Structure 1
Amino acid sequence: MGRTSGEPARGGRRGPGRRAFLGLAGGLVAAGLPGPAGCAAEPTADHLRVRTDTGPLRERFALLGELSDAHWLGYDVDAAGRRETVPGPDARIRMVGVARPAADTLRAALDSRPDGERFREAPPLGAVPAPLAPYLPERTGWRQNTGYDLLVLGGGEGGAVNDRADGRFLLHEGRGLVWFDAVFLHA
Structure 2
Amino acid sequence: MAQTYISKVIVDLWKQEVTLEWTGPNAAAQEKGPFHCSPGEGVSGVNCDDIATSKRSGTSCTPKGEFPVNYHERRFSQFPQAEWVTRFQDDSRGIALHYYPIVPEYPDSNGCVRIASLNAAKLIYDNTKSRQSVVSVREELRPRFGIVLKRGAKSQDVRKIQRRLVEKGYRLGIDGDFGPRTEAVVKQFQKDKRLSADGIFGRQTYQVLFA
The question of a shared fold, defined as TM-score above 0.5 by the shorter chain, is answered with no
The higher radius of gyration belongs to 1
Instruction: Please report the TM-score for the alignment, with normalisation by the length of structure 2.
Output: 0.23
Instruction: Please report the TM-score for the alignment, with normalisation by the length of structure 1.
Output: 0.25
Q: Which has the higher helix share?
A: 1
